């Protein structure tokens, strides 16, 4: 069994993300003896943005959200995600 390296302490998520993008996790973790875990309450990091929309578009979004019984901000995220996924499928 090979000796595992110690995982460094990270100051930020970006620093950790950068580290793991360039490192082989098998140098740091014993995947053979790992067990599967679930994190049902884990939510992705979010960032608040300011977005200016025409009032008529916002009214239409709110109307659609009301029909689907979801908050309009959630509907905007759903629509953006669907479109982003579609764009990536087109370009691949």
Residue 39, domain member (yes or no): no
Q: Are residues 56 and 22 in the same domain?
A: no
- Could you read off the pLDDT of 31-51 as tens digits, one per residue? 988 998 888 888 888 899 999
Q: Are residues 28 and 52 in the same domain?
A: no
Range from 1-5, 15-19, 60-64 carrying the lowest mean pLDDT: 1-5
What is the C-alpha separation between 10 and 20, in angstroms, rounded? 11
- Token readout for 4 is 């595992």
The whole domain housing 73 covers: 46-92
pLDDT averaged over every residue in the chain? 93
Q: Give me the mean pLDDT over the 26-30 stretch.
A: 94
80: pLDDT strictly greater than 90: yes
Q: Are residues 91 and 52 in the same domain?
A: yes
What's the CATH code of the domain at 60?
1.10.1220
- Could you read off the pLDDT of 56-65 as tens digits, one per residue? 999 999 999 9
Residue 55's pLDDT band, with cuts at 50, 70 and 90, is very high
What is the C-alpha separation between 28 and 48, in angstroms, rounded? 34
């Amino acid at each position: 069994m090979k000796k595992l390296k110690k995982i460094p302490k990270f100051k930020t998520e970006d620093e950790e993300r950068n580290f793991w993008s360039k490192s082989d996790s098998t140098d740091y973790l014993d995947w053979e003896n790992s067990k599967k875990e679930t994190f049902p309450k884990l939510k992705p990091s979010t960032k608040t943005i300011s977005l200016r929309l025409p009032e008529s578009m916002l009214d239409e979004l709110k109307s659609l959200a009301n029909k689907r019984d979801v908050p309009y901000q959630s509907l905007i995220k759903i629509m953006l995600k669907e479109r982003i996924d579609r764009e990536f499928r087109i370009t691949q």
